[in-house]
């Protein structure tokens, strides 16, 4: 085991991954983080990136196979170097003979070090134990590159021209596995775009074969490799479908081999099935097909069970390898668009060549459900046409669901109905319909229902945790189709996360290159809407979105573009915004789009706040009925010449006190729950706090709906107290609601002692890292002047304050001890 105390240099030419860094930040609260995945998933690179931005000292420990120290010796070494500001990074933990015991001992200690550990899967590690419940586990699925990250890797790191189709194909084939992607990029560095694409889809994945042999196959027992090779055609192998015969003995033998592959880290159990790396499967399938005379019979036998299991893509590939032309033609005739969307174009061409002439697909009639935008599923022809007519009604004229009796029955029809409701702006009903879709059915429809449910909430102004949409987008990217993945990637911009601000714009440009007019129009509209939701309205972007709708033939979307355009101009107080809002409202009513009507009426309120023709209470009721969060759209940009708000002075250590413009505020005038909310927001020092976190902290035993209602009441009363002159139509300056979260936003020149303490603590760590003793001592005295008292003593032992209170008591104690050391030296 080797260790050093020097911080590693920043890693050049690597892709920044903010979503993973956010998970690693758990070490700030002394929560151990464990990265567990097989080789090549980028664990070491991620640790290097995070260590490079750590503000304090870093202790790097890399384990090696020759280390034979006991678990107690290793733990003592780690603890001995773990000062309060030190980040301990342990790489390749699996080389230690007692790896699981070492991690469990460190993670379960009363005061664990700030610990990041990377390892290959350790079978003996029991993360379900209660004392390890606070451990953050980052697995292979978390580490995989999403296809939009691969797109960035191609362009931002390797300097290649944008090619979203290549990014999609590369992610699908490699599963986002970092090392094979790196191998592919290296071996195609000097090739043309056409040659690079052919290299990616060449039989036997030659760009990664050497790596897979060295890192995976050479370390396995030969009988395990033989078993994996014979069963690689199965997408989700089980003991039943991998058995050599339909007998208990054969199934038991297959189950034993699957468990051995799982222990070796090659397969992972998901329910009754096992899943492996797509890239490794393709390599083994190619080798089996080219070296074993009995391979065609194995592939032919796999067609039927794969088709019955709902995997027409895998069945088609098995039929191709078995050279079963009749079976392949039947599969491609019954599932033409699903298969076309799921495999790279070059491979689809090979399938089509063997299958022969295909039944023509009515792409124009299918329109959105099938056609230019691919397909959710492969319904029967009549059902497909009915779905297409229903969705076309959304785009071509006022939609009256009662007048569309041909809607397909069952779950698929409910998705079409929910899309229709979402298109009219009835987000509440649409979200309920998406949530009601049975997720156990799986496949593209379930992924679409999950994705559209999140997008509906975002477009309605409610916001969401960015990780929720990331998971939905990744699920869509796994099951297809391609057009839905583009929508998912564009939707990431609606979350307001900094790393995703440009995603919708990137998708719009890519769709324009690919000739996808619908995708370009939707991505452009989401980009413009995101600007409004984050308080940065851009009328020019909305005008461009309107032109995109017109170019795509999405006639009924024009009132939406008009309404949002009026809202953007009203937020900017541009002349003529009121007249434009009136016209937008009339168009929304004519096209029977109640959601667009609400947005247009919001624009009227902002443009003409004293107009007598707009009933605010009726607007609130309509927005509530449709599930639209009204105040997300009633923001007006502050005039640059307006007088600044008076500064606020908030103290939380030793007692909660507030001064506004130098005058103390009588907090007893606030309702009790609003006082609690005020203290809770102040505790987070201006950072956004999601409404679910607030509701759970303040009313942990109340039903969710009741807790949210109480939270809205507490927010309303707190805003009235802090901003007595604010009308009920204006957005709050002190307690804004942004992306599903509330935060305490203080005017320029304000003071919050918790924020000052956080700043002092960070500066003290930086001074200690530089070895500047004088500066560290001075800053620690500043910290004690602020934080050497009980945090929010009037709150009592509430769960949400106990942790931060203990943290600051420890910080103050450590500061005093450190100053005592300086004085004695």
The pLDDT tens digits of the residues spanning 119-132 come to 887 656 665 554 56
Kindly report, residue by residue over 634-647, the tens digit of the pLDDT: 765 444 344 445 67
- The rounded distance, in Å, linking the Cα atoms of 484 and 368 is 11
Q: Residue 667 pLDDT > 50, yes or no?
A: yes
Q: What percent of the chain has pLDDT over 70?
A: 83
- The rounded distance, in Å, linking the Cα atoms of 350 and 343 is 11
The pLDDT of 503-512, averaged and rounded, is: 81
Q: Residue 80 pLDDT > 60, yes or no?
A: yes
Q: Residue 226 pLDDT > 90, yes or no?
A: yes
The pLDDT of 606-614, averaged and rounded, is: 65
Report pLDDT for 11: 36
Strand partners, 738: 741
Q: Residue 288 pLDDT > 90, yes or no?
A: yes
Residue 320 pLDDT class (50, 70, 90 cuts): very high
Report pLDDT for 680: 92
- The rounded distance, in Å, linking the Cα atoms of 341 and 279 is 18
End-to-end CA distance of the chain: 33
Report pLDDT for 124: 61
Per the model's pLDDT, the better-predicted residue between 325 and 704 turns out to be 325
Residue 393 pLDDT class (50, 70, 90 cuts): very low
Name, in order, each residue with C-beta under 8 angstroms of 791's C-beta and a sequence gap of 6 or more. Answer: 652, 653, 683, 754, 801, 804, 805, 808, 809
Instruction: Please state, in angstroms and as integers, the Cα–Cα distance from residue 629 to each residue in 43, 423, 427, 461, 793, following that order.
Output: 40, 17, 10, 5, 35
Q: Residue 51 pLDDT > 70, yes or no?
A: yes
Residue that is written with structure tokens 């709906």 in the block: 705
Report pLDDT for 94: 85
Please tell me the least confidently modeled range out of 11-20, 374-383, 653-662: 374-383
Q: Residue 599 pLDDT > 90, yes or no?
A: yes
Q: Residue 439 pLDDT > 70, yes or no?
A: no
Report pLDDT for 337: 59
Task: Name the burial class of residue 472, with classes exposed (0-12), middle (13-18) and buried (19+) by CB atoms within 10 angstroms of its CB.
Answer: buried
- The rounded distance, in Å, linking the Cα atoms of 600 and 591 is 13
For residue 217 the two structure tokens come to 């196959």
Strand partners, 4: 60
Residue 8 pLDDT class (50, 70, 90 cuts): very low
Instruction: Please state, in angstroms and as integers, the Cα–Cα distance from residue 30 to each residue in 135, 244, 483, following that order.
Output: 9, 50, 42
Instruction: Please state, in angstroms and as integers, the Cα–Cα distance from residue 778 to each residue in 613, 772, 773, 808, following that order.
Output: 62, 10, 9, 18
Report pLDDT for 300: 92
Identify the top-confidence range among 338-342, 382-386, 800-804: 800-804
Strand partners, 41: none
Kindly report, residue by residue over 672-688, the tens digit of the pLDDT: 888 889 999 999 877 88
Q: Residue 458 pLDDT > 60, yes or no?
A: yes
Residue 291 pLDDT class (50, 70, 90 cuts): very high
Residue that is written with structure tokens 């203990």 in the block: 806
Residue 27 pLDDT class (50, 70, 90 cuts): confident
- pTM greater than 0.85 (yes/no): no
Q: Where are the alpha helices (DSSP H) in 188-311?
A: 193-200, 206-215, 222-231, 239-242, 248-263, 278-291, 295-308
Please tell me the least confidently modeled range out of 26-35, 250-259, 354-363: 354-363
Give 547's Cβ-side CA count (13 Å radius).
7
Report pLDDT for 162: 73
Kindly report, residue by residue over 56-77, the tens digit of the pLDDT: 788 888 888 887 778 788 888 7
Per the model's pLDDT, the better-predicted residue between 17 and 341 turns out to be 17
User: Strand, coil or helix: what is 338?
Assistant: helix
Determine if residue 823 is left, alpha or beta; phi over 0 gives left, psi from -120 to 50 gives alpha, anything else beta: alpha
Report pLDDT for 740: 76
- The rounded distance, in Å, linking the Cα atoms of 799 and 807 is 13
Residue 225 pLDDT class (50, 70, 90 cuts): very high
Q: Residue 2 pLDDT > 50, yes or no?
A: no
- The rounded distance, in Å, linking the Cα atoms of 500 and 739 is 13
Torsion angles phi and psi, residue 121, rounded to 5: -50, 130
pLDDT, averaged across the chain: 79
Per the model's pLDDT, the better-predicted residue between 277 and 661 turns out to be 277
**Nearest Cα to Cα of residue 232 among 286, 308, 178:** 286
Per the model's pLDDT, the better-predicted residue between 260 and 84 turns out to be 260
Kindly report, residue by residue over 364-376, the tens digit of the pLDDT: 333 233 333 333 3
Kindly report, residue by residue over 763-792, the tens digit of the pLDDT: 898 888 888 888 888 889 888 888 888 888
Residue 95 pLDDT class (50, 70, 90 cuts): confident
Strand duo 751-752 + 689-690: pairing: unpaired
Q: Residue 722 pLDDT > 50, yes or no?
A: yes
Per the model's pLDDT, the better-predicted residue between 404 and 647 turns out to be 647
Report pLDDT for 283: 92
Q: Residue 12 pLDDT > 70, yes or no?
A: no
Q: Residue 417 pLDDT > 60, yes or no?
A: yes
Per the model's pLDDT, the better-predicted residue between 516 and 564 turns out to be 564
- The rounded distance, in Å, linking the Cα atoms of 37 and 32 is 16
């Amino acid at each position: 085991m080797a260790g050093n105390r020097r911080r590693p240099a920043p890693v050049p030419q690597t892709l920044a991954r903010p979503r993973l860094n956010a998970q690693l930040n758990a070490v700030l609260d002394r929560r151990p983080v464990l990265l567990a995945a097989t080789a090549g998933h980028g664990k070491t690179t991620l640790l290097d990136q995070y260590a490079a931005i750590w503000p304090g000292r870093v202790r790097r420990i890399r384990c090696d196979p020759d280390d034979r120290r006991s678990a107690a010796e290793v733990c003592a070494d780690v603890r001995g170097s773990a000062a309060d500001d030190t980040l301990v990074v342990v790489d390749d933990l699996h080389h230690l003979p007692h790896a699981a015991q070492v991690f469990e001992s460190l993670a379960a200690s009363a005061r664990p070090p700030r610990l990041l550990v990377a390892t290959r899967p350790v079978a003996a590690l029991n993360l379900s134990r209660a004392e390890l419940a606070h451990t953050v586990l980052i697995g292979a699925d978390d580490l995989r590159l999403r296809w939009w990250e691969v797109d960035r890797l191609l362009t931002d790191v390797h300097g290649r021209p944008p090619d979203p189709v290549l990014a999609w194909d590369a992610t699908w084939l490699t599963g986002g596995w970092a090392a094979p992607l790196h191998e592919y990029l290296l071996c195609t560095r000097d090739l043309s775009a056409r040659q690079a694409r052919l290299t990616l889809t060449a039989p036997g994945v030659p760009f990664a074969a050497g790596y897979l042999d060295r890192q995976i196959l050479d370390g396995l027992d030969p009988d395990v490799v033989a078993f994996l090779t014979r069963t690689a055609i199965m997408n989700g192998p089980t003991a039943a479908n991998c058995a050599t015969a339909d007998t208990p003995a054969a199934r038991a033998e297959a189950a034993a081999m699957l468990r051995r592959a799982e222990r070796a880290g090659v397969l992972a159990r998901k329910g009754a099935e096992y899943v492996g790396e797509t890239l490794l499967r393709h390599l083994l399938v190619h080798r089996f097909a080219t070296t074993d005379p009995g391979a065609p019979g194995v592939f032919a036998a796999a067609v039927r069970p794969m088709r019955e299991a709902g995997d027409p893509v895998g069945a088609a590939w098995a039929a191709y390898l078995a050279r079963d032309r009749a079976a392949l033609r039947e599969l491609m005739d019954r599932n033409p668009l699903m298969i076309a969307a799921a495999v790279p174009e070059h491979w689809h061409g090979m399938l089509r060549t063997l299958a022969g002439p295909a039944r023509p697909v009515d792409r124009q009639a299918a329109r959105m459900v099938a056609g230019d935008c691919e397909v959710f599923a492969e319904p029967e022809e009549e059902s497909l046409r009915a779905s297409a007519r229903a969705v076309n009604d959304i785009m071509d004229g006022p939609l009256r669901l009662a007048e569309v009796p041909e809607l397909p029955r069952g779950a698929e029809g409910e998705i079409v109905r929910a899309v229709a409701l979402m298109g009219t702006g009835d987000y509440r009903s649409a979200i309920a319909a998406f949530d009601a879709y049975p997720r156990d059915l799986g496949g593209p429809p379930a992924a679409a229902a999950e994705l559209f449910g999140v997008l509906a909430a975002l477009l309605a102004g409610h916001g969401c945790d960015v990780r929720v949409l990331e998971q939905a987008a990744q699920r869509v990217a796994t099951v297809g189709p391609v057009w839905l993945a583009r929508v998912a990637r564009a939707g990431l911009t609606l979350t307001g996360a900094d790393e995703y601000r440009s995603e919708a714009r990137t998708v719009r440009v890519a769709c324009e290159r690919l000739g996808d007019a619908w995708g370009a129009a939707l991505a452009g509209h989401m980009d413009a809407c995101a600007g409004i939701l984050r308080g940065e309205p851009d009328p020019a972007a909305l005008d461009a979105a309107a032109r995109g709708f017109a170019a795509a033939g999405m006639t009924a979307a024009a009132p939406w573009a008009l309404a949002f355009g009026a809202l953007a101009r009203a937020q900017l107080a541009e002349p003529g915004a009121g007249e434009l809002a009136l016209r937008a409202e009339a168009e929304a009513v004519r096209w029977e789009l109640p959601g667009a009507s609400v947005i247009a009426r919001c624009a009227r309120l902002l443009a003409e706040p004293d107009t007598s023709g707009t009933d605010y209470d009726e607007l609130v009721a309509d927005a509530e009925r449709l599930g639209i969060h009204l105040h997300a759209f009633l923001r007006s940009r502050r005039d640059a010449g307006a007088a600044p708000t008076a500064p606020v002075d908030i103290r939380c250590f030793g007692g909660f006190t507030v001064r506004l413009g130098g005058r103390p505020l009588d907090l007893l005038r606030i309702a009790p729950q609003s006082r609690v909310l005020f203290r809770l927001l102040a505790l987070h020092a201006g950072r956004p706090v999601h409404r679910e976190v607030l509701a759970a902290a303040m009313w942990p035993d109340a039903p969710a709906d009741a807790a949210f209602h109480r939270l809205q009441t507490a927010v309303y009363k707190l805003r009235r107290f802090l901003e007595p002159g604010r009308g009920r139509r204006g957005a709050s300056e002190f307690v804004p609601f942004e992306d599903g979260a509330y935060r305490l936003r203080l005017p320029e020149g304000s003071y919050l002692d918790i924020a000052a303490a956080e700043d002092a603590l960070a500066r003290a760590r930086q001074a200690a890292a530089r070895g500047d003793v004088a500066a560290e001592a001075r800053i620690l005295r500043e910290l004690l002047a602020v934080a050497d008292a009980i945090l929010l003593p009037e709150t009592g032992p509430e769960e949400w304050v106990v942790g931060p209170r203990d943290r600051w008591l420890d910080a103050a104690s450590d500061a005093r001890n450190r100053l005592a050391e300086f004085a004695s030296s």
